[in-house]
Amino acid sequence: MRRKLIAGNWKMNGLLADGIALAAAVAELAKPRKHKCDILICPPFTLLIEAVRAVAGTPIAVGGQDCHMKASGAHTGDVSAPMLADLGCRYVILGHSERRADHKEPDSLIKTKAQAALAASLIPIVCVGETEAERDSGRTLEVVAGQLKGSLPEGGTAERVVIAYEPVWAIGTGRTPTLAEVQEVHAMIRRESGLGQGVRILYGGSMKPSNAQELLALPDVDGGLIGGASLKADDFWAIATACP
């Protein structure tokens, strides 16, 4: 049985006061209850230490949004996987489409970063997803399978790697694929990942309280990677509680 994971990707949002307040609000919602799913927040680097403090004593995990492929050294502006682990992070998002686009990150780099994450005992959340043009030309499965093959780390296992399917055209647009389209891609990812039945595959792209329940009920959807709706504690929590 795969336990679902609801992950909030805050992206480049939150000054200190807002970030602390948001983490504290999510922690407060998490406190009194037993949870059917794992819950994760991924704030920007500047808020990580405060987020770790805010969720201490709750089951909420904290993760980074990227890491360098090396453990240390002359890499100005970068942050390494051991640095994230040292702060108390347990996960790191890698290969998000915004990093693939903004920083020209190729699959091979994402794979190396994912290996660095594993070496630091972090769980990499490896992101894949097609652009609108790729979907329109009927190439979704081929593109996603190719990204998967190129980006997954060597030596990963179902317990130590998470995959996120995020169609680029669904991010921040309010549009989503049909449920059948999401299920088709997730089933293919599970087959092609080589990680077996136990690997968790998250859906991301305009997931919100009104569509979370039906997406999370799909057989191969094991959670969500949530952008915009993770910036409001109540919306994020409504998605977490929509887990079947």
Kindly state whether residue 130 participates in binding ligand 13P, applying the rule CB under 6 A: no
CA 136 to chain CA mean position, Å: 25
In the set 227, 235, 237, 242, which binds ligand 13P (CB under 6 A)? 227
Whole-number Å distance between alpha carbons of 127 and 113: 12
- Residues near 130 by Cβ (< 8 Å), separated by ≥ 6? 139, 140, 143, 144, 167, 168, 169
Kindly state whether residue 226 participates in binding ligand 13P, applying the rule CB under 6 A: yes
| Residue in this structure with the two tokens 């790697």, named with its chain if needed | 161
Please report how close the Cβ of residue 32 comes to ligand 13P at its closest, in angstroms.
26
Q: Which two tokens stand for residue 40?
A: 């994760």
Q: Does the annotation count 50 as an active-site position?
A: no
In the set 81, 204, 235, 240, which binds ligand 13P (CB under 6 A)? 204
Torsion of CA 92, 90, 2, 216, to 10 degrees: -50
**Choice between 82 and 205, CB closer to ligand 13P:** 205
In the set 89, 225, 233, 239, which binds ligand 13P (CB under 6 A)? 225
Q: Does the annotation count 35 as an active-site position?
A: no
Q: Given the rule CB under 6 A, which residues bind ligand 13P?
A: 9, 96, 166, 171-172, 204-207, 225-229
List residues with catalytic annotation: 96, 166
